[in-house]
Structure 1
C-alpha cells in the first residue's frame, strides 16, 4: 500500500512545479507552508532535524522554490512556533491559514498535493502524517480518497 502511494506521489510531483507557478499568491504560500508545518508536527514534536529537513525541502522543492525561500522559511518557523507553544493552537492556526483556499478548489487540491509531497519527502508517509493531511482535506472540502489517503 505504501509503495503504491509513494509511486503515485512521485508521478504527481512531476506536475506540481508547473501547477504551483499558476498560483503564486500569498494565500497559497501561507496555506502550503501551514500545511507543511502541520504535517511536520503530526507526531507531536517538530524536532530540530525535522525543521532543517522541512526548510531544505521548502527551499529546494521544485513546486515551492518559486516562492521567496526566506519568506517561506519565516512562515514555516511561525507555524512551527505555534505548535511548540501549544499543539492545539498550532493546529488551529494552520487550519485558519489553510481555510481561504476552500473557496478555490483547484488551489486547494494542489495544496493537498504539496502536503502529500511533504509527507513522502523522507520516503515514509506515516499514519500520523496521513491523518494530518486528511484533516487538511476536511478543512478544504477535498476528498482524501482522491489523494490515496
Structure 2
C-alpha cells in the first residue's frame, strides 16, 4: 500500500470515528460548537475559501447531527459564523470561541477537538495555521493540545 493509500485510509478511518462519536452527542450546543470550530479552522489563515467551505459542508453532510437538524440548519449556522469572520476576523474568532466554550468540561469537548483535526486534515495538508487554531480551541476547552498531538 502506497503513501497516498495510507493517507486516504487514515483520513477515512478518522472521519468514521468522528462521525460515530458525534452521533453520541446529538444536541444543538454540540452542532453549533462543531460548526463554530469548523469555521474557526477554515478561517485560520485569515479568510474562508470556497474550498474550505466545501470541505466543511462535505464533512457535515454525512454527520449524524445533519440527519437530526438538516443541512439547511447547518448551512445557516455556518453562514452566520462565516459572516462574523468576514466582517471582522477578531470578532468572528471571539464569537466562535464563546460558542465552543459551551462544551468546556463536558465529554463532547474532546470530540470537538478531534472533529476539528479531521476538518483540518481533510485536504491532506494540516498546516501550521490549522494546527494553531485547533490548539487554541483545545485550550479554550481546558484540554491539553499535546493530548491531540498538536
- Does the TM-score normalized on the shorter chain lie above 0.5? yes
The answer to whether residue 15 in structure 2 is matched with residue 13 in structure 1 is yes
Unaligned runs of 5+ in 1: none
On the 8 A contact 2:41/2:130 being kept in 1, the answer is: yes
1:24 paired residue number: 26
On the 8 A contact 1:6/1:120 being kept in 2, the answer is: no
The answer to whether residue 121 in structure 2 is matched with residue 132 in structure 1 is no
Number of equivalent positions: 145
On the 8 A contact 1:39/1:129 being kept in 2, the answer is: yes
CA distance in 1, matches of 2:10, 2:144: 16
Unaligned runs of 5+ in 2: none
Q: Aligned in 2, Cα 1:66/1:16: closer, same or farther, shift over 3 Å?
A: farther
Q: Per-residue CA shift, 1:32-59, capped at 9, x if unaligned?
A: 0000000000000112332233222321
- The alignment's C-alpha RMSD in Å is 2.2
CA distance in 2, matches of 1:51, 1:87: 16
2:108 paired residue number: 107
On the 8 A contact 1:134/1:144 being kept in 2, the answer is: yes
* Matched position secondary structure for 1:46: coil
Q: Aligned in 2, Cα 1:64/1:6: closer, same or farther, shift over 3 Å?
A: farther
TM-score by length of 2: 0.86
1:146 Cα deviation after fit: 1.4
TM-score by length of 1: 0.86
1:122 paired residue number: 123
CA distance in 2, matches of 1:100, 1:29: 11
Task: Give the alignment partner of residue 39 of structure 2, picking from 34, 37, 40.
Answer: 37
1:49 paired residue number: 51
